[in-house]
Amino acid sequence: MDKIPITVIVSVKNEALNLPYCLEKLTRFKQIIIVDSGSTDDTVSIANSMGAEVLQFQWNGNFPKKRNWALQNANLKYEWILFLDADEFITDAFVDEVAIKTQDPNYNGFTIQFENYFMDKKLRYGYGFKKSALFKKSKGAYEKVEEDLWSHLDMEVHEHPIIEGRVGVIKSKVVHKDFKNLDHYIAKHNAYSTWEAQRYLQLKQSKNSHLSLNQKIKYGLLTTGFLPMVYFIGAYFLKLGFLDGKEGFYLARFKSHYFFQIQTKVDSLKK
- In this structure, the number of other CB atoms found within 10 A of the CB of residue 66 comes to 25
Write down how long the chain is.
271
Residue 124 near residue 244 (C-beta atoms within 8 A): yes
Contact (CB, 8 A) for 143 and 203:
no
Complete domains list, the chain, with CATH: 4-176 (3.90.550.10), 182-270 (no CATH)
Longest dimension (CA), the chain: 60
> Residue 210 pLDDT > 70, yes or no?
no
Going by C-alpha positions, the residue among 242, 88, 113 that lies closest to residue 173 is 113
Classify each residue of 79-111 as buried b or exposed e, where b means 16 or more C-beta atoms within 10 Å of its C-beta: ebbbbbbbbbbbeeebbebbbeebeeeebbbbb
pLDDT digits (tens, 9 = 90+) for 95-137: 999 999 999 999 999 999 999 999 999 999 999 999 999 999 9
The per-residue pLDDT for range 25-79, each reduced to its tens digit, is 999 999 999 999 999 999 999 999 999 999 999 998 888 999 999 999 999 999 9
pLDDT tens for 218-271 read: 878 887 889 999 999 999 999 999 999 999 999 999 999 999 999 999 999 988
Q: Which amino acid is at 205?
A: Q
Contact between 67 and 9 under an 8 Å Cβ cutoff? The reply is yes
State residue 29's pLDDT score: 98
Instruction: Residue 1: name the closest of 30, 34, 38, 36 by CA.
Output: 30
Q: What is the pLDDT of residue 150?
A: 67
Ramachandran angles phi, psi of 70, nearest 5°? -65, -40
Contact 192, 158 (CB under 8 A): yes
Q: How far is 109 from 168, CA to CA, in rounded Å?
A: 6
